[in-house]
Structure 1
Amino acid sequence: MIYTATFNPSLDYIVQLDTFTAGAVNRTKHERIFGGGKGINVSIVLHNLGVDSITLGFIAGFTGDEIERQVKSFGCKTDFIHLSDGLSRINVKLKADVESEINGQGPEIDKTSLKAFFDKLNQIHHEDVLVLAGSIPSTLPSDIYEKIMEHLADKSIKIVVDATCNLLLNVLKYKPFLIKPNHHELGEIFNTILTTDEEIISCAKKLQAKGAQNVLVSMAGDGAILITSDGKIYKSPVPKGIVKNSVGAGDSMVAGFLAGLLTTNNIEKAFKIGVATGSASAFSEALATKEEVMKLLQQL
């Protein structure tokens, strides 16, 4: 079974405008509301690809109820912890002549609820997969990813980490099965700007030397690179298409890779499915469907 963890899920209020003028009344052209979060996105795309998963995390208030309702409406299984106080956050994403985002803070997660989360982790068994994705709310310890991986260290669980900077670096000692930085995040880790494949591969190998088993680097329109635990290097361009919405593309790549690995047991095929899935989400207003992925996969 695959488990995904989203510590600060949200309702994403996506607003389309022709232009946005600060300090004035602006009228929307189109609007949508999605229950989201990086782990949730992974679970939704996994379901679209025919792979079951269970979404873990924390929700609160009527916004939390709506997040759970939407996740279930996609066919996903949920095992959220319901917090007694506060509201799950609302993130406003403005799409006009430029894109802007206003992200909420989210509810406070108390020690009792955090203990309940660790109790849920005990249901994860040998050879299951756990996806840890996204930032950590301020009410949780900054080393929560490390504590989770330490808690599960004796279970031979495949752990996937999609996080940035120190949140990612500090878990490498626990040898995560897969990490997925994009090329900008990879450059930030080493305080540089990466401009060539050789530079990206070199930095990815440095993360492997620190403990990461497989490193999947997304590069937006330039495709992706995978460096595997046995030293193989794969590169893929992206399929042709028009980018409509980049939100969730990286999460979709993770979902596609995992779905591909489970269904084919071939890491190269899994890589291509991951690239096609990330592209399918980027080329759509919603998250990738299996039909869209299979169509783009033919280009690769």
Structure 2
Amino acid sequence: MIYTITVNPSIDYVLQLKNLNTGEVNRTQNDVKLPGGKGINVSRIMKELKIDSTALGFVGGATGSMFLELLAQHNLKTAFTKVSEDTRINVKINAVDQKEETEINGAGPAITTDERQKFIDGLDGVGDGDIVVMAGSLCKNLDASFYLDIAKKIQAQGAEFIIDTTGQALLDTLPLHPLVVKPNHHELAELFDVEFKDQQEIITYARKLLEKGAKHVLISMAGDGALLVTKDKAYKANAPKGTVINSVGAGDSMIAGFAGTFMETKDPIESFHMGAACGSATAFSQDIAVKEKIDEVYKQINITEV
């Protein structure tokens, strides 16, 4: 089983308008409310790939109830921990003529010590052969050690883990050998406080994450495609042709494609191919990509050793 952890899920209120004029009244062309969160996106792509997953996280309040109602429309298996404070709302503004996306993200609920422990106890059933995907920002009152504590627990129970976060929370888990980490090229540069001049420098610093313990490193590079870096080799996936409609969830979709395929095949190259297809297919979609779009994009992607 694959478990996805979205510590700080949200209702994503996505607004589309021609232009965003700050300080004025703006009227939308259309809008949609979606169940948001990086782990949620992973589970939704898994559903499209017909791979079982269970979505975990914290939800609370009236917005938490609405979040669960929105999520129920996608027929996902879930086991969320209820908390006393409200689930957050994130606003995503897509100004079409300006070709700009603006995001305003809520902080989310503060998690109590008892709520934290209840969540941790809920992981007792995770074990051999399972993969746990930890993705996204942390709620208030949860420090960077939260992901580390989860990684230690599920690893001791025989499971693998994937972490998709940044900064110290990522670095702290590397000695536990995550199956894959996925910073984008900007996040990778920030981790080491450098600026990249070319692709080879990106690969060099990706290998530093391997040296610190990661088993595989995925680097998303937007219009320049993506990289998979392993101990001995590096591979590149080209960026397929298409119009980027909504980049929210593209990185999560890449993780989903990689994790789901790796669980079935144990082949990192094929997993990278599917991950790249899922990521681009979502970028070319209004919402998370559907299977037909993933299959279409998969045929456009070539994996080459670099």
The alignment's TM-score, normalised by the length of structure 2, stands at 0.94
CA deviations 1:94-151 (Å, max 9, x no partner) are 1112322211111221111111111111110112000010111222122111111122
CA deviations 1:161-216 (Å, max 9, x no partner) are 10111111111111111101111100111111223221111001111111111111
Per-residue deviation, 1:153: 3.0
Contact 2:38 2:136 in 1 (8 A): yes
Contact 2:254 2:277 in 1 (8 A): yes
Contact 1:71 1:78 in 2 (8 A): no
CA deviations 1:72-93 (Å, max 9, x no partner) are 221210000111x221000111
Find the counterpart in structure 2 of residue 291 from structure 1.
292
1:135 aligns with 2:134: no
Which segment is superposed worse, 153-162 or 272-281? Answer: 153-162
Contact 2:131 2:161 in 1 (8 A): yes
Find the counterpart in structure 2 of residue 110 from structure 1.
112
CA deviations 1:17-61 (Å, max 9, x no partner) are 112222221111111110110001100111111101000100011
Contact 1:64 1:88 in 2 (8 A): yes
Rounded Cα–Cα distance in structure 2 between residues aligned with 1:195 and 1:51: 39
Find the counterpart in structure 1 of residue 185 from structure 2.
183
Question: What SS does the corresponding residue of 1:269 show, helix, strand or coil?
Answer: helix
Q: Aligned letter for 1:297?
A: Y
Question: What SS does the corresponding residue of 2:89 show, helix, strand or coil?
Answer: strand
Rounded Cα–Cα distance in structure 2 between residues aligned with 1:233 and 1:154: 30
Rounded Cα–Cα distance in structure 2 between residues aligned with 1:35 and 1:8: 11
Find the counterpart in structure 2 of residue 214 from structure 1.
216
Find the counterpart in structure 2 of residue 100 from structure 1.
102
CA deviations 1:224-280 (Å, max 9, x no partner) are 11112x523211102111100000000000001112223333221111110011000
Q: Aligned letter for 1:125?
A: G
Contact 1:216 1:225 in 2 (8 A): yes
Rounded Cα–Cα distance in structure 2 between residues aligned with 1:269 and 1:295: 16
Find the counterpart in structure 2 of residue 173 from structure 1.
175
Find the counterpart in structure 2 of residue 259 from structure 1.
260
1:5 aligns with 2:34: no
Any stretches of 5+ residues in structure 2 without a counterpart?
A: 302-306
Rounded Cα–Cα distance in structure 1 between residues aligned with 2:213 and 2:121: 27
Which of 106, 122, 125 is the aligned partner of 2:124? 122
Contact 1:13 1:31 in 2 (8 A): yes
Contact 1:226 1:235 in 2 (8 A): yes
Contact 1:60 1:87 in 2 (8 A): yes
Rounded Cα–Cα distance in structure 2 between residues aligned with 1:153 and 1:236: 30
Find the counterpart in structure 2 of residue 45 from structure 1.
45
Per-residue deviation, 1:298: 1.1
Which segment is superposed worse, 247-256 or 13-22? Answer: 13-22
Rounded Cα–Cα distance in structure 2 between residues aligned with 1:132 and 1:40: 11
Contact 2:10 2:35 in 1 (8 A): yes
Rounded Cα–Cα distance in structure 1 between residues aligned with 2:153 and 2:185: 30
Structure 2 counterparts to residues 173-252 of structure 1, below 5 A = 173-228=175-230, 230-252=231-253
Paired residues in the alignment total 298
Contact 2:144 2:168 in 1 (8 A): no
Q: Aligned letter for 1:174?
A: L
Rounded Cα–Cα distance in structure 2 between residues aligned with 1:264 and 1:226: 17
Contact 1:44 1:71 in 2 (8 A): no
